[in-house]
Amino acid sequence: MLFIFGISPKTVKTDQGQFVCPICKTRSAYEIKTQRNYFSLFFIKLFPVSKPRESAVVCLNCGTHMPKMVLDH
Ligand SMILES: [Zn+2]
């Protein structure tokens, strides 16, 4: 029997809200996304194998990924 397994990243939305985007200068919605590597078998992600990476803020208006510190302003 052939097993197909590996490590694949999975991005999860951890938070959302409103902010003034420094890129498009508009008040718009954002999502905070965290990426984590999962052990997968037959393309089914079974369990996480790493700690969550630095999460990114994604502007839903222009789609730009930026560091979380933009929310401090
Ligand atoms: Zn934007």
Q: What is the pLDDT of residues 8-28, one digit of tens each?
A: 888 889 999 999 999 999 999
- The larger pLDDT score, comparing residue 51 to residue 24, is at 24
DSSP designation for 18: E
Around ion ligand 1, residues with a beta carbon closer than 5 Å are 21, 23-24, 59, 61-62
**Taking a C-beta distance cutoff of 8 angstroms, is the pair 52, 32 a contact?**
no
Structural domain count of the chain: 1
Residue 73: per-residue pLDDT: 65
Question: What is the model's pLDDT at position 13?
Answer: 92
For the cut 80, the answer to whether the pLDDT of residue 44 exceeds it is yes
Domain that residue 15 falls in: 5-72
pLDDT at 23: 95
For Cα atoms 53, 39, 37, give the angle at the middle one, nearest 5 degrees. Answer: 10
3 Cα: distance to centroid of ligand 1 (angstroms): 43
Residue pair 39/50 in contact (Cβ under 8 Å)? The answer is: no
pLDDT tens digits for 54-73? Answer: 789 999 999 999 999 888 86
Nearest CA-CA partner of 57 in 26, 20, 16: 16
